[in-house]
Amino acid sequence: MVEVAEPRRPARIARGGWLDVLRFVAGALIILYHFREAAPTPLGELHPVFDRGFLLTNFFIIDSGYILARIYGDGFAARSLNIPDYIRQRVLRVVPSHLVVIGVLAAMVAVAAAVGIRPSNPQWFDWAQLPAQAALLQAYGVPGGQGWNAPTWTLSALLGC
């Protein structure tokens, strides 16, 4: 009788491991990318890689998807985790901190305007676009993804994925 071996499952990953370190580094470089033109010397002049922020975003999303699949995949496979519970967990992890950041940013812009300080790029702070930003709808074609905290379109996309 031939014994068939069970396929080996990869070891369970823990939060705070090397994959999270890679996400942190990619996230920090994405932030640097968004400030590349505001640097004393435009970063694209130092090296052309600084003009290719989309590669960092792609890596961040791929790494995040891999981490989520490794963390939640067994629960979905065993049917011990249902989709509504998963969505609730993801929303509760992402949305509160996002709302704090967008709220602080809106307050800073409002206070600055009240004392007569205009942003250097006022088109990025159109109050009509703030609701889409706050609701994380900008990745779905809802106007509002180009201003305020524009990098949060990745959070919007990740919640949908």
Residues 53 and 113 in one domain: no
Residue with tokens 């930003």: 133
pLDDT for the residue numbered 14: 61
Residue at a domain's end among 81, 112, 139: 81
Contact (Cβ atoms closer than 8 angstroms) between residue 151 and residue 145: no
Residues 76 and 19 in one domain: yes
Nearest CA-CA partner of 31 in 157, 156, 150: 150
Reading phi first (left if > 0) and then psi (alpha if -120 to 50, else beta), residue 39 is in beta
The answer for residues whose C-beta is within 8 angstroms of residue 115's C-beta and 6 or more apart is: none
Residue with tokens 């969505």: 87
- Radius of gyration of the chain measured on its C-alpha atoms: 20
Residue at a domain's end among 51, 81, 111: 81
Residue 6 falls within a domain, yes or no? no
pLDDT for the residue numbered 114: 95
pLDDT for the residue numbered 110: 95
pLDDT for the residue numbered 85: 85
The pTM for the full model equals: 0.68
Residue numbers of the domain that contains 41: 12-81
pLDDT for the residue numbered 8: 63
Residues 75 and 108 in one domain: no
| Residue ranges, the chain, pLDDT below 70 | 1-16, 144-145, 161
Digit-coded pLDDT (tens) for 13-25:
666 678 888 888 8
Residue 89 falls within a domain, yes or no? no
Residues 115 and 71 in one domain: no
